[in-house]
Amino acid sequence: MAAGSPPPLEPIPMPAYRDEGFADKFRRKTRENPLVPLGCLCTLGVLTYGLISFKRGNTRHSQLMMRARVMAQGFTIAALLGGMVVTALKARS
């Protein structure tokens, strides 16, 4: 190692989001990772349709929709994790 003064230990400034409200934060987060709200809406739609099928007595279709709901939830979790990875990689660069 070369002798000399060590590098300065100054922290990286974090962006300030203190003045943003719920709507502003929701828009910003949706722009950062648009697949998560899409997955949530798909999950909600499939769940609603499955519950309506259950209420009407169509148990076969209701079971199919509940399986589709699990798949939609899996997509949402994968989108969330993927967005976290992309955000972490952007922070490193």
Flag whether pLDDT at 88 surpasses 90: no
Flag whether pLDDT at 1 surpasses 60: no
Q: Mind listing the pLDDT tens digit for each residue in 2-29?
A: 567 777 777 777 666 678 889 998 898 8
Flag whether pLDDT at 84 surpasses 70: yes
Cα gap 1→41, rounded to integer Å:
55
Q: Mind listing the pLDDT tens digit for each residue in 23-76?
A: 998 898 888 888 999 999 999 999 999 999 999 999 999 999 999 999 999 999
pLDDT computed for residue 2 by the predictor = 59
> Where along the chain do its domains lie?
32-91
Which pair of structure tokens corresponds to residue 16? 């300030």
Which pair of structure tokens corresponds to residue 21? 């409200």
Based on the number of CB atoms within 10 Å of its own CB, is 65 exposed (0-12), middle (13-18) or buried (19 or more)? buried
